[in-house]
Amino acid sequence: MDFLGMLLLSIIQGITEWLPVSSSGHLALAQHYFFGELPVIYDMGMHMGTMFAVLIYFREKILGMASSLLKFDTKSKDFRLVLLIILGSIPTAIIGFGFKGFFVSMYTQPLLVGVALVLTSLLLFSTGFSYSRKAEPAEKNAVTMGIGQGLAVAPGVSRSGATISAGLHMGMGWKEAASFSFLLAIPAIFGATFFLWLETPPDSIDWALMSVGVLGSFISGYASIHILLNFISRKTFPLFGIYCLLLGLAAIALNYPG
């Protein structure tokens, strides 16, 4: 993989990480058809870039959460939000680690990625029938969105699509569901990258190539967050289902045996 290839992959990752179209699915298909397969650690490095984008974009909220923890201000909304993120991260970790082997194997099976994209499209279409009470995150929302995030470890299942859709179906408002989805991603991405890092010998990593991937996904990921929060709404969200459906069907058609 040369630097240009990594830059293009990182831009794909950054744009698709926060839009409901599955960044991991796009990376898997792009590598299979155009760039060649990369070790998963590079994929996680690009995910780290988009995680840094969330940290910067929501820096005021995150600093408020950190302050509430240091002060142990149990009555503040920020402290409660931290607890909800921890609660939502539990089912994510159980599913992610429990099915890790299968999910990783999917990266080299574009047919399964296509099936997952079709399932994502159905999930996105379903939000057109959801209701909203403009509700803030609650315990049941956190658990349900955490389950969705765990399933989205599978390439082709959109993390933002699964979590935001779950929030909308639980009655959350659009902005509330999207914002909580982004914050919920932080411990998931950090945890997955940390454990994968422990399994990867440092001398097997091309650090210059990794740096390009992290930086490219950070910049494009920041732009993607801004687009989703400011230019996409509950009404336009299901339209991404059309894209996922077409891409998924194409992947299935190209890889269906016989």
Question: pTM score, two decimals?
Answer: 0.89
Q: How confident is the model at residue 134 (pLDDT cuts 50, 70, 90)?
A: low
Q: What does the pLDDT look like over 179-207, one tens digit per residue? A: 999 999 999 988 888 888 888 888 888 99
Distance CA 189, CA 203 (A): 22
List, as own/partner pairs, every contact residues 72-79 make where C-beta atoms lie below 8 angstroms and the sequence separation is at least 24, other chains included: 77/136
CB 215 within 8 A of CB 12: no
CA 121 to chain centre: 15
Q: Which two tokens stand for residue 39?
A: 């070790």
Domain ranges of the chain: 3-255
pLDDT at 249 over 80: yes
Q: Which position has the higher pLDDT, 198 or 76?
A: 76
